[in-house]
Amino acid sequence: MMKLLFRKQLIVVVGLIVLLFYCGGNLDNLSELQPNEIFELGKKYYYNDNNYENSRELFDRISRLGIVTSYADSAQFLLAESYFKLENYIIAQSEYERLIRTRQRSSLVPISRYMVGMCYYNLSPQPALDQEYTMKAIESFRQFILNPGPGTDPQIIKNSTDRIVELYEKLAEKDYNSGVLYRKMNLFNAALEYLDDAMYNYSVMVSGVRIQPVAIIPKAQFEKGECYIKLKQFKEAREAFQAVIDNFPQHYLVKRAREKVSMIKLEIAAADTSLTF
List pLDDT tens digits, range 34-63.
989 999 999 999 999 999 999 999 999 998
Q: Would the CA dihedral through 101, 165, 91, 89 be positive or negative?
A: negative
Q: Is the pLDDT of residue 154 over 60?
A: yes
Confidence of residue 18 (pLDDT cuts 50, 70, 90): very low
Q: Is the pLDDT of residue 247 over 90?
A: yes
Q: Mean pLDDT throughout 253-259?
A: 97
Name the DSSP class of 47.
Answer: I
Residues 104-124 as b or e (16 or more Cβ within 10 Å = b): eebebbbbbbbbbbbbbbebb
Looking at residue 234, what is its pLDDT?
Answer: 94
**For 191-230, what is each residue's pLDDT tens digit?**
999 999 999 999 877 777 788 888 999 999 999 999 999 9
In sequence order, the β-bridge partners of residue 12 are none
Top pLDDT among 65 and 142 is at 142
The domain 216-277 is placed in CATH, from the list 1.20.1050, 1.10.10, 2.30.30, 1.25.40, at 1.25.40
What's the first-to-final CA gap in the chain, in angstroms? 107
CA distance 95 to 277: 64
Neighbours of 39 (CB within 10 A): 21
**Mean residue pLDDT across the chain:** 88
Q: Mean pLDDT throughout 141-158?
A: 92
Closest C-alpha to 94, from 79, 111, 106, 107: 79
Burial degree of 267 (CB within 10 A; 0-12, 13-18, 19+): middle
Which helix (H) or strand (E) segment holds residue 133: the answer is helix 132-146
**Interacting residues of 109 by C-beta distance below 8 A, sequence separation 6+:** 99, 100, 103, 149
Q: Is the pLDDT of residue 23 over 60?
A: no
Percent of residues, the chain, with pLDDT higher than 70 = 87
Confidence of residue 20 (pLDDT cuts 50, 70, 90): very low
Q: Mean pLDDT throughout 16-45?
A: 71
The topology under which CATH files domain 22-104 is 1.25.40
Looking at residue 28, what is its pLDDT?
Answer: 60
Angle at 125 between CA 119 and CA 128, to 5 degrees: 160
Closest C-alpha to 200, from 208, 210, 190: 210
Looking at residue 144, what is its pLDDT?
Answer: 94
**For 228-239, what is each residue's pLDDT tens digit?**
999 999 999 999
